[in-house]
Every structure is written in C-alpha cells, then in structure tokens.
Amino acid sequence: MANFGHVYLIGAGPGDPGLLTIRGKEILECADVVVYDRLVSPAILGMCNPKAKMVDVGKMPTHHKVKQSEINKLLVQFAQEYPQGIIARLKGGDPFVFGRGGEEALELVDAGVEFDVVPGITSAISVPAYAGIPVSHRGIATSFHIITGHEKAESNGELSLDFENLAKCQGTLIFLMGIANMDFIARRLMECGKDPKTPLAFIEKGTTPYQRTVMATLETAGETIVREKVTAPAITIMGGVVELGKTLAWKKNLPLSGKRLVVTRAAKQASGISARLTALGAEVIETPMIETRVVEGSFNWDNLANFDLLAFTSTNGVESFFTQLLASGNDIRVLAGKKIASVGKITEKKLLEYGIRCDYVPEDHTGEGLGKLLAEKCSASELDESRILLLQGNLADETLLKHLPKATRWVVYETLPVAELPEWKREAVECADAVVFASTSAVENFVQVSRLLIEDNSTKVLKHQVSFISSFVSRLSFCIGRMTEAAAQKHGFETVISDETTMDSLVKKIVEYYSAGERA
C-alpha cells in the first residue's frame, strides 16, 4: 500500500450524541481531518480533536452542498495529504444504510487507500424506538423493510420503487428521507392495493430534543404533512406497529426539550452544568470563551508561613494552588493552623474536594461581600489584615484590596480568551435560544470573538458571520452573579440572574424561566 492516511467511515447515529459508538468517539478524538454531514449533531462535532481540520460537506434536502462524487475524491485527497494520518468521514445514521458509504469505500479501494467502517445506529430503527414504536412485534409485524424515499430512476425521473410488492408487504415499511415525496408514495401504494387505513407516523428530528411524532393514516398522509408542517429530517413508518406508539411512547417532553443553550464556561468546568441541562432535555453547545492556565512559579512556599488566612476567589484559584502545592512536594499539612476563606459556595465546594473546610464564606457571594466580611473580622481584631493572602487570577479587579489594603495578593492563574469559533460552532450558536454566562470574562470574550469575525479585513465576510454578530445582541442570557449580569447588559443582552451564585441555582432558574414561558 502507498503511504496514505487511514480513512474511517463513521456512523454518527440518529442525532442523540449518546448514541454515538464508543469506537466512533475514540477515532474522532484523535482524527487529523473530519469530513462531516449536515445531520451530525453539534455535540458530536464538539467531541472531535480540537486541532482537526473540519470539513463541512453537508447536504440539504434540495441542495447538495458538495456533490457525492466530490466527497469521494476529497477522502482520497486527504488520505494523500496526511500520510499516516487519521481521516474521519462522519455521516448521520449508519454509513451503509442509504448513507452512500459503499460508494466512498469503492473510491478508496480504487485509489489504494485503506479504510475501516465504524457502524452507526440507523435512524430506521432507533427513531421509531424513541417514539415508542417497535419496528417488529409478535402478532403484528414479523419483518420490517427500510426504503429510501427520494431516489429516482434515471429513465423517467420517478421514484424507483416497486410499489406493487411494497403494497402487498405485510411487514413494517420504514421510509427514510421521503417527506417531500410522501404524498405521491402514499397515493401509489393505495393505487396498488394497500389499505388506506394503514396507520402511519412521521417522526421529525428523532432522538434529539426537538423530536416530534405526528400520527396519520395512508389516506391522510399528504394533508397531514401540510397541516402539521412536517419537515425534514423525518422518517415515515407504516404498519400496525404504529398503533403501539400511542401506548409505549416513553420519551417525555422534559422541561428544556427543544431548547438550544450555549454554555460558555471553560472547557474543564463546562461538563457539570452541560450534563444537568442535557438531562433536562436541552441541546447544549459547549462554547468555552476562556481558558485558564496555572502561573508556574507564582508560589514561594517559604513565605506561606507569613500568612494566617488564605482567601480563594474562584475554583480556578483553588485548582491552581493545589496543583502547584502537590507539584512542589508539599501537601495540605503546610496549611495546618491557617484560616481559609471562600468567595462563595462553588469555591467552598471545590475546597472541600481537597479536604479543606472554610472558616469564612460571605452571605453575599461576591468579591465585595468577601472583602467586607474579612475587613469586619480585622476590625474586631479576629484577623491581622497584613497576614491575609489573596489567591486570584490575572484579571481580578481591586475590590478585595480596596477593603484589605494591607493584604498580599498572589496571581496564581491566568485567564486567556479563546481566539476564535470554528464555522460549525458559529452556525450552532447562531441558532441558540440563550447563552449561559458564569463570569464577566466569558461575556467580554464572547463579544470580542464575535466582533473579530467581521473586523478582520483580510478575509471575506460571510453572510452568516454578519448575522451571527447581530443575532446575539438582545439575545437572552442566563447569568451567575450581579457582575456577570451587568457585563451582559452592557453589551445588550436580555438577562436572567440566578438567585444564588451556584450552578444548581442557575439550572433551577433556567428551568423556571422556560416553564413560566410555557404556562404564559
């Protein structure tokens, strides 16, 4: 074999990122190139190697962004350009179930490129399952048939389906990609003798937070599509098993079903809130706006003896401090006899993970609240202000030093802005319902990155980039803390603030907001 990269034809599954196979995820995490389709979930794209070249070849129902023949050639081209590299071809559903993966594989064989197929969960079976419809059921259907709903014959331009035999089929009929042609399909099946009363279901955006099931019969298929405004991506399932969906529908509408939320926390901190929002039905787009980095050498451990109280103002400060503490060969015994203060409950919880209980936590979980509390303790001679050590980031303001001018501050970590958003993420963010901010720096960097998209005169401004800039202004944002809220309002966001400066409170507020909106 020539010195080519290795191509993996990966099925992304029906939409729910949890249905991507473990093997598929492992490959995406180390891929050098990812060639992906329109129906791949943004959450799955977020699993890809952040250094990978991302290539969108997505197809719309009536417009092919990149022709299949060109996609085939692209895979060969990338295999040649990346010797020993990993090229992931990421397709919705399963590559070999109307995914044209066979055509891509043949092109690779002809070019001498080695490939693997990583099967995906096909929508033909999984989407009905999410709607409570088994494709086979004892006594109702002993077979099921998967049919493409849009492939036309070259000779006459009509659908190349054997309607005569399909009409006689006693099993379940599952049509993929056929909503635009379903009125014609239904009429032809009835003309060939299929019972007009045959139960039928359209399932839109199956397995995603936007899933919707619309019931009909064969004779009402066309009018139902128009009346209910059924749109792609959707599958159509016909047969007696459809009736079971009325009893077995298990996927409930959760409080955040159908909502797309952008989480802007630093990558290592986003997973907690993302998991909770996802469990409540939301589609979460993790879009970290800041990165944190330990300031190495910022600690002089000999000087630690000069302080009686250590004040932590963020979870990043806690992690940075203990990372260097352990790296230096020390452990928590060097804190024996020292008082510990935390700005709020989130930081207090993080300290507890390291076995440290806090002595001081203000009721007002802000720098102002912590400064006032410690200043009061100093006035009461409970603390010596000159022996207080503030452990903060490089962007910390002067609030604490204003209340504690004799205290010492160590910068223990740096907050760095994320330089840019990849195109696939910009498109996902643009369609979001709200943005979640946990810090003022996340707000500022979100706005800054957005502005940079149109201020770079060296590149042509794309239409969707301009709309991205305008669309986030006045968009709803959920904020932790008054300072974060003020920063968001300054840039034109509509804001909703959590009752407490905790993630639990923020998630609760998000649910309350959307629940109240539905009641209204």
Q: Could you count the other beta carbons within 10 Å of the beta carbon of residue 130?
A: 21
Q: b/e for 381-398, b at 16 or more Cβ within 10 A? A: eebebebbbbbbbeebee
Nearest to 429 by CA among 290, 233, 269, 284: 284
**Catalytic: 37?**
yes
Q: Which of 37, 194, 350, 483 is catalytic?
A: 37
**Catalytic: 215?**
no
Q: How far is CA 235 from CA 68, 123, 247, 412, 518, in A?
A: 22, 8, 20, 54, 28
> What is the C-alpha to C-alpha distance for residues 121 and 124, in angstroms, rounded to an integer?
9
Q: Which tokens belong to 132?
A: 């409570």
> What is the C-alpha to C-alpha distance for residues 408 and 420, in angstroms, rounded to an integer?
35
Question: Which letter does DSSP use for residue 241 in this model?
Answer: G
Locate all alpha helices (DSSP H) within 213-260, ordered by sequence: 221-228, 245-248
Tell me how many helices (H) and strands (E) the chain has.
19, 22
Q: Could you count the other beta carbons within 10 Å of the beta carbon of residue 249?
A: 13
DSSP assignments along 22-53, one per residue: HHHHHHHHH-SEEEE-TTS-HHHHTTS-TTSE
Q: Which of 54, 177, 289, 503 is catalytic?
A: 177
Q: Which of 25, 53, 56, 59 is catalytic?
A: 59
Cβ 12 vs Cβ 119: under 8 Å: no
SS3 54: strand
Q: Which tokens belong to 477?
A: 């944002």
**Catalytic: 177?**
yes
Q: Point out the residues that are catalytic.
A: 37, 59, 177
